[in-house]
Amino acid sequence: MDERIVKFEDKMEKTLANLDSEFTTIRAGRANPHVLDRITVDYYGAPTPLQQVANVSVPEARMIQIQPWESSLLKAIEKAINMSDLGINPTNDGKLIRLVFPELTEERRKELVKDVKKKGEAAKVAIRNIRRDANDMLKKLGKTDVSEDEIAELEEKVQKMTDKNIEKVDKAIEEKSKEILTV
């Protein structure tokens, strides 16, 4: 791989990694502790990720259990979950918080699949923008002492890299949609 286009490949890889992390926060009927990744709790005045102030476990297929290391944090965790876009009411028994995930309705599953496709499209646009940036950089190289054949070869490599990554995005969308639609 030519060092002039390696940075663009890295950017495409980061786009795919970002898409994966976004997909893990979309719940698909069963409890996944990653849905809590973006939730922060007010811990002595500082917003702190939930995983850093509590033990998060999945005792059953559709339940997440959150046991804070300090019982004084129960209310703050409960508040953070209620203010998030999870759409689940936490149950607080004084020692720990339980999140029970209801079975997804057909309508909600279809909404989630639309969301997955939207995020996938955004990732494809990001990859195409990276391709455009790479091609712009190659055109500037063409004005220097780099041959047209070399530029054409690099553009072809960038296009193959783009196609490969867009294929990966399509596959990720398909897998996540299938996971959501599976009852």
Other Cβ atoms within 10 Å of 37 Cβ, number: 14
- What is the spatial distance between Cα 71 and Cα 182, in angstroms, rounded to a whole number? 38
- The more confident residue out of 34 and 17 is 17
Q: Tokens 């890889």 sit at which residue?
A: 13
How many helices (H) and strands (E) in the chain? 4, 6
On the question of pLDDT at 87 being above 80, the answer is: no
Q: Are residues 96 and 109 in the same domain?
A: no
Does the predicted model carry a pTM greater than 0.75?
no
Fill in the amino acid letter for 127.
I
15-26 residue pLDDT tens: 999 998 888 777
Kindly report, residue by residue over 113-133, the tens digit of the pLDDT.
Answer: 999 999 999 999 999 999 999
Q: Does residue 177 share a domain with residue 140?
A: yes
Do 84 and 147 belong together in one domain?
Answer: no
The enclosing domain of 63 has a CATH number of 3.30.1360.40
Model pLDDT, residue 42: 86
Residues 135-178: tens digit of each pLDDT: 998 888 877 777 888 888 888 999 999 999 999 999 999 998 88
From 79, 100, 121, the end of a domain falls on 100
Q: Residue 42: name the closest of 6, 5, 14, 68 by CA.
A: 68
Residues 96 and 120 in one domain: no
DSSP state of 85: S
Domain final residue, candidates 67, 100, 133: 100
Number of domains the chain contains: 2
Name the domain boundary from 73, 100, 127.
100
CB 103 within 8 A of CB 61: no
Distance CA 87, CA 81 (A): 9
Supply the range of the domain harboring residue 45: 33-100
Average pLDDT for residues 58-79, to the nearest whole number?
A: 86
Domain co-membership, 159 together with 92: no
